[in-house]
Copies of this chain bind each other. A is one copy, B any other.
Amino acid sequence: MEAPSERTKLKRGSTRARYEREAILAILDEALFCNVAVDVGGHPAIIPTAFAILGDQLYVHGSTANRIFRAMRDGSECCVSVTLLDALVLARSAFHHSVNYRSVVIYGRAREVDDEVEKRAAFDALIEHVMPGRSAEVRAPNREEYLRTLVLAIPVDEASAKVRTGPPVEEEADYALDVWAGELPLRVVAEAPVADPQTKREVPAYVLARYEGLS
C-alpha cells in the first residue's frame, strides 16, 4: 500500500512501514494517550493528551485556556504521534541496539467541534477509549464545562504506522561475538483499582474487566 503523502512516506526502514488503515487503527486503539505537536509562537510545543477515534477522526480535548489547544483550534498544522514500546532489543554491537515498537504518526489540521451532538459523542468516546463501559455511568458535562473545553478533530487520513518486531539484526561478523543478545519484552499493566476514599460503591465490572485486560 502506498503512503498517503510524501511526508508520511517512510524514507528509511521502509520495510517497517504500514499504511493500511487496520494496522493504524489497531495501534491507536491500544494506546492510552498521544502526543500532539504544534507551532506555538514560532517554536514547536508538544502536549501529551487523551484521544479517541470516532469514524475517520481523531478527537482530543483540552482547556480553552491552553495555548497548545488554542494553536490547534486556530489552524496550526499538527503532528500526532502514538508509540507502543514492545521490547528493548539488545544487539551484540552498540550500533544495532534498537527497540521493538508500534508507532503511528498523523499530520493534519484540527477542526473545532462546535456541534453539541458531536461534542458529546467525543466526550463519551474519550472516556470509552481508556475505560470501556464508563461513559454511560458518569455525570455528563454541563453547559459551563462544555464552554471551557475545546474539542478538536483531526482526520486520520495523512497517517502512517511503523512497526519493528523480532531479534536484533547484526552485522554478519558480529554474530560470532561472545555477547548475549536478545529482547527484553515490555508492556503496560494495570494494578488493582484504588477506590476514591469517598466512594461507597463496589468496583464496577467494567473497571475490573479493564484491570484484567491490562494485567
Contact = CB atoms under 8 A, between A and B. Distances in A.
13 contacts: A11-B66, A32-B186, A33-B99, A43-B79, A48-B81, A92-B139, A93-B145, A95-B149, A138-B179, A182-B194, A184-B211, A185-B190, A187-B189
A2 interface: no
B81 A35 contact: yes
Contact of A90 (B7, B66, B131, B192): B131
Contacts of A198: 175, 181
Contacts of A203: 180, 182
Given A191-B185, A193-B182, A50 B99 contact: yes
A19 interface: no
A94 B101 CA distance: 31
A97 interface: yes
A23 to B, nearest CB: 17
A131 B45 CA distance: 29
Given A44-B77, A48-B103, 16 more contacts: A35-B37, A85-B188, A90-B207, A92-B139, A93-B145, A94-B124, A94-B127, A97-B126, A139-B179, A168-B196, A183-B193, A183-B196, A184-B211, A185-B194, A186-B188, A188-B189
A141 B93 contact: yes
A202 interface: yes
> Most chain-B Cβ atoms within 10 A of its Cβ — which of A50, A178, A189, A194?
A194
